[in-house]
Structure 1
Amino acid sequence: MSDKKPEPKELSDEYILAAIAKESKEFDKDAEIDRILKAFRLDSYAVLDLQPGVPDNDIKKCYRMKSLLIHPDKTSNPSAPDAFDRLAKAQKSLLDEKERAKLDECIADARMLLMRERKLTTDSEEVKDPDTEFRKAWREKTKMVLVDEELRRRKKMKAQMQEEGRAQKKEEDEIAERKRKREFESKWEQSREERIGSWRDFQKGKQPDKKKKKIKTLG
């Protein structure tokens, strides 16, 4: 019989490999959460780590894989809920036809601005086959365009809210004026009988009795 003692579970190959796999998976989760939070949130493609022009099926597939990876119930990372929320909003934005069209337009505008700055044309090799440096500059220009667009949107919304506020105040003033008019007409109607009675008395020569003032005697 062998006197060799059984290897502790903590030192077995299976246990070590499982621990490494678990640690690696947690690292992947943390890395993806960190990537999402660092991505420019106005660019839904960047949040999902996708290239513009991808079909809807790829967007859904990408979202499903990443959402399963970083789901708050699947990791203890405290930033998971925020990252998960950004991921969901990015997918919703890209699957919205109008929202995606606006984003694509901003990306195209950024490309055009970059081409003008560098005096390039669509036939330029740098544009036809963009290298890493051009793509990086394009992304930075896209951020600028998206920020400008967001500022315009907020300014427009603020002006709209102010206009709605003025319209609401005008409506409230009109309602108050109508209320005052109704109250005046109501009081006028309520005093109608009194006015008619006074007029009849006047016609009959019946003036209201006046109290005689007492004359104080001097001395």
Structure 2
Amino acid sequence: MADDNEDKDVLAALDKEASEYLKDAEISRILNAFKLDAYAILDLKPGVPESDIKAQFRRKSLLIHPDKTSNPQAPDAFDRLKKAQGVLMDEKLRERLDEAIADARMLLIREKKWTVDNPELVTDEFAVEWREKTKHVLIDNELRKRKQLKAQMAEEGREKRKVEEEMDARKRKRESEVAWEETRDQRINSWRDFKTKGEKERSKKKKKMAPIG
């Protein structure tokens, strides 16, 4: 009886060790998968139905969830898995990814000067090349997107500075107009004083020049 219990304990320990090994292997696979390819992260082929995406995410998430393993990289892997599922469940994002994958396939066909019915297209070797070409296409697309975003932000910055400069110019104009209006009475009084002083000077000159009777 004691031997049976020992055997059960050993088997349980082996099962646990095997389970942890599978979890660690899957976490490593996810973290090493190409970050811009959601299909690669979820270990799915392009074109799968939505139900397969949901089922695969559930299987993978149950395996590597941070609450189910002590692996310190589990949170990062789970986060990446969740984001990949979000991309594939978003119609526009998935369509954009599918277009990049299709572009990669056509680029390879052109480079090899094949026709679309070439039997090599269904080989494992081509699948590997296709995935590698997909990486290059996705990287190019990402760089192009970042460049456009940078240019857009620069343009928005120029527009913002232009608006701010126009606002500052209008502000200075208003302040100048207010200052001009506030000194209006002072300018009038100064002109009156100047005029009165001039009249007095002219009057004095006239008296000096007048003949003595």
Q: TM-score w.r.t. structure 1 length?
A: 0.85
Residue identity matched to 2:42: L
Residue 17 (structure 1) aligned with residue 11 (structure 2): yes
Residue 150 (structure 1) aligned with residue 150 (structure 2): no
> Structure 1 residue 111: deviation in Å?
0.6
Cα deviation code 1:103-133 (max 9, x no counterpart): 1011101111111111111222223xx1110
How far apart are the structure 1 equivalents of 2:79 and 2:54? 15
Cα deviation code 1:133-162 (max 9, x no counterpart): 010011111111111111111111111111
Residue 7 (structure 1) aligned with residue 6 (structure 2): no
How far apart are the structure 1 equivalents of 2:115 and 2:130? 15
- Structure 1, unmatched stretches of 5+, are 1-5, 210-219
How far apart are the structure 2 equivalents of 1:12 and 1:41? 45
Cα deviation code 1:138-188 (max 9, x no counterpart): 111111111111111111111111111111111111111111111111111
Residue 51 (structure 1) aligned with residue 40 (structure 2): no
> Structure 1 residue 197: deviation in Å?
2.6
Q: Determine the structure 1 residue equivalent to 2:133.
A: 141
Superposed, which structure 2 residues align to 1:32-111 within 5 Å? 32-111=26-105
Superposed, which structure 2 residues align to 1:118-197 within 5 Å? 118-127=112-121, 130-197=122-189
More helix, by proportion? 2
How far apart are the structure 2 equivalents of 1:56 and 1:164? 38
Higher deviation after alignment, 46-55 or 71-80: 71-80
Identical columns (%): 62
> Structure 1 residue 56: deviation in Å?
1.3
Cα deviation code 1:57-102 (max 9, x no counterpart): 2111111221121111221111111111111111111111111111
Cα deviation code 1:34-61 (max 9, x no counterpart): 1001111111000000010111121111
How far apart are the structure 1 equivalents of 2:57 and 2:78? 10
- Structure 2, unmatched stretches of 5+, are 201-213
Q: TM-score w.r.t. structure 2 length?
A: 0.87
CA, structure 1 residues 193+61, in 2 after alignment: closer, same or farther (shift >3 Å)?
same
User: What is the DSSP-based 3-state SS (H/G/I as helix, E as strand, rest coil) of the residue aligned with 1:12?
Assistant: helix
Q: Cα RMSD between the aligned structures?
A: 2.0
**How many residues align structurally?**
200
